[in-house]
Structure 1
Amino acid sequence: MGTGKGGLRDARLDEEGVAPESPSRAPRLGGRIALARLRDLALLPAIVAIAIVGQLVNPVFLQYDNLINVLQTMSEIALLVLAETLVLVIGRMDLSLESTFGLAPGVAAYLTVNTGAGIGVLSGGWAVPVALAVGVAIGVINALFIVRFRLNGFIVTLGMLIVLRGLLTGLSGGKTFFNLPPSMIYLGTSIWFGMPASIWICLVLFAGGIVVLSMTRFGRSLYAIGGKVDAARAAGIRTERVLAIVLITASALAALGGLLLSGRLASVAAAQGNGTIFTVFAAAVIGGVSLSGGKGTVFGAFTGVLLLYLIQNVLTLGGVPAQWIGALNGAIILVALVLSRLTGGKAQD
């Protein structure tokens, strides 16, 4: 029918998302997909169990206001989890997301607020576009170093984390930006259809992530690259372009998450985002996202961050000190790695 080797290879890639290696690959891939879908639901019983425990610990737990508060607080960090999930699936890590989470709204506040450390050279209407533009710019810089110059992604994003954190501290003078323009506060405080806007934004973006990763060729290419980059490249996937798109998208999501937090608090602290990357990795790992790439789903990541925040809320309502909550995040990562070893045959290292 005039189909060459390249056309046959692309056709198989459309169906499976990876280049074929042997006649028995399709059944194995089907088994892994079925297992992945099963693991997506694995945390649901745990979430139900935590809800029951939470109600026993404190009757306030299942009240509407408390659950909405949990979801709104979670939605801000959840965008970081979504961003990191995309990067992890493709086989990379982005440590700079936590600093982007703070710097992007910090730059917007610096340029639009004319009190305190702000210089107010732009009107308040520019705040959101500026913040998102900063996020995109950071992603472009990361992509330039990692894709164009082929530098180690872990080291690049670690360096960017430090640089961006220093920039925010320098711009703010170590102080907190107040009197934010209404456009920044709107996203974090508005109510849409009975729920905070940030919750709707989070749900829509996660739904979009689920569709992209599970139903599009682009999403399948992420798993192919994360699984085996050489095979993905041989199958005709433009791995460098895909990686650049993911890095830029992740940084933009981090900037948006920072805007949601700044809007809810009506301020941008000089330390905004510091240490959140640990919570992000904890949520991703317990949601079944592999640290070695090629495995994990957006829905799994969502259940991971939801479970983590429900646990934190139960501990808070139970009077557990915040210091122990931080220790719990580390313990959850270790437990998740052990479970991954038992259920998947190898650790997600």
Structure 2
Amino acid sequence: MGRSLLGRYQHLALVPAIVVLLAVGAAVSPIFLTADNLVAVLQQQSELSLLVLGEALILIAGKMDLSLESTIGIAPALAIALVIPAGSNGLGVELGAWTAIPVCLLVGALVGAVNGLLVLRLGLSGFMVTLGMLTLLRGLQEALTKGQTLFDVPESFLYLGAATWLGLPAAVWVCALLFAAGIWALGYLRQGRALYAVGGNKEAARAAGIRVDRVVWVVLVIGGVLAAVAGILMTGRLGTVAVTQGDGMIFKVFAAAVIGGISLQGGRGTLVGALFGVLLLGLVENILRLLSVSGFYINASYGAVIIVALVVTRFATGKAQE
């Protein structure tokens, strides 16, 4: 009974951990609890949170998508390359600037759709397909940009990266609204609850009349679109699209999802827990940077967080994640 309760409320266990981190941060730096610093943490984690949202939905449905890391780069890069002139490392197509965001979202949806086609229609391993897609998209981005950073970012991208709504960055509001929509969908929509059924027991879900392949395909497309939105926010915040945009983010995505209680086996976890996982990682990173800790050790901390979370999950639920 005790283990069952711990497993059920695992995501809430992060709340005291976050409170502890706030206290530690206040002790190590006088600027940690300032409004400017905390808002900066929220904005910097906005792109990661959208990748975690997409990955969490996919994991709950019993699949995984490693290519989200590359989609956050290739989607805005291709959209911008189609808009800017060849002299600015564009493709020379010079579409209207208004098309940049729709094209970016379309690229994200297309990546998710292709992943779904290969996994569901051809029966290929989701892990290997999305790993291959990650590498393919990274190479395409390097070829597309000729290894150069794209600077001529459309105003629509820059607006979302710089605008402030009701005292908070627009990116923070976008993430909050999308997480709220996801939480509501999983809790109150039949299609949202179907994700848990599919991830928990695919055959039982089919027997209950759920169109399993359609559910998985749709959630993969949604994941790709969310990665594209994350790419828009990151590009707007930085004002550029670097060749390495998104590189290495998938490790942080899985770290946040796992410590937030999302099961790698499917069918378990909450988006609230995933969001707490993002906040915890953001606070840890911020504290380490304020302490001038080397970035190498910060990267190592993500791996440590995943291992600790797996150990905690093992003892909390009595089950190991595979």
Question: TM-score per shorter chain, which class?
Answer: over 0.9
Question: Which letter maps to 2:286?
Answer: N
User: Is residue 198 from structure 1 mapped to residue 171 from structure 2 by the alignment?
Assistant: yes
Question: Which one of 13, 27, 34 corresponds to residue 42 of structure 1?
Answer: 13
Question: Which one of 203, 222, 225 corresponds to residue 230 of structure 1?
Answer: 203
Structure with the greater alpha carbon radius of gyration: 1
8 Å Cα contact 2:53-2:271 kept in structure 1: yes
TM-aligned CA deviation for residue 137 of structure 1: 0.9
8 Å Cα contact 1:290-1:348 kept in structure 2: yes
Q: Which residue of 1 aligns with 2:67?
A: 96
* TM-score, reference length from structure 1: 0.89
TM-aligned CA deviation for residue 98 of structure 1: 0.5
SS in 2 for 1:41: helix
TM-aligned CA deviation for residue 242 of structure 1: 0.3
SS in 2 for 1:112: coil
Distance 1:222 1:182 in 2: 37
Per-residue deviation, residues 104-147 of structure 1 (Å, max 9, x unmatched): 00001111122421135112111101100100111111111111
SS in 2 for 1:303: helix
User: Which blocks of at least 5 consecutive residues in structure 1 are unaligned?
Assistant: 1-27
Distance 1:273 1:210 in 2: 25
Distance 1:347 1:62 in 2: 37
8 Å Cα contact 2:258-2:306 kept in structure 1: yes
8 Å Cα contact 1:36-1:296 kept in structure 2: no
Q: Which residue of 2 aligns with 1:305?
A: 278
Q: Which residue of 2 aligns with 1:116?
A: 88
Equivalenced residue count is 319
Q: Which residue of 2 aligns with 1:151?
A: 124
Distance 2:50 2:174 in 1: 9
Q: Which residue of 2 aligns with 1:18?
A: none
Question: Which one of 322, 327, 332 corresponds to residue 295 of structure 2?
Answer: 322
User: Which blocks of at least 5 consecutive residues in structure 2 are unaligned?
Assistant: none
Root mean square deviation of aligned Cα: 1.4
Cα distance, 1:273–1:104 mapped onto 2, change above 3 Å: same
Question: Which one of 207, 213, 231 corresponds to residue 240 of structure 1?
Answer: 213
Question: How many percent identity over aligned positions?
Answer: 52
TM-aligned CA deviation for residue 148 of structure 1: 1.7
* TM-score, reference length from structure 2: 0.96
Distance 1:218 1:72 in 2: 30
8 Å Cα contact 2:7-2:317 kept in structure 1: no
8 Å Cα contact 2:198-2:212 kept in structure 1: yes
Distance 2:189 2:243 in 1: 39
Cα distance, 1:288–1:143 mapped onto 2, change above 3 Å: same
Distance 1:48 1:225 in 2: 35
8 Å Cα contact 2:196-2:266 kept in structure 1: yes
SS in 1 for 2:210: coil
Q: How does 1:230-269 map to 2 (within 5 A)?
A: 230-269=203-242
8 Å Cα contact 1:185-1:262 kept in structure 2: yes
Per-residue deviation, residues 40-80 of structure 1 (Å, max 9, x unmatched): 31100000000000000001000011001000000111100
SS in 1 for 2:88: coil
8 Å Cα contact 2:82-2:95 kept in structure 1: yes
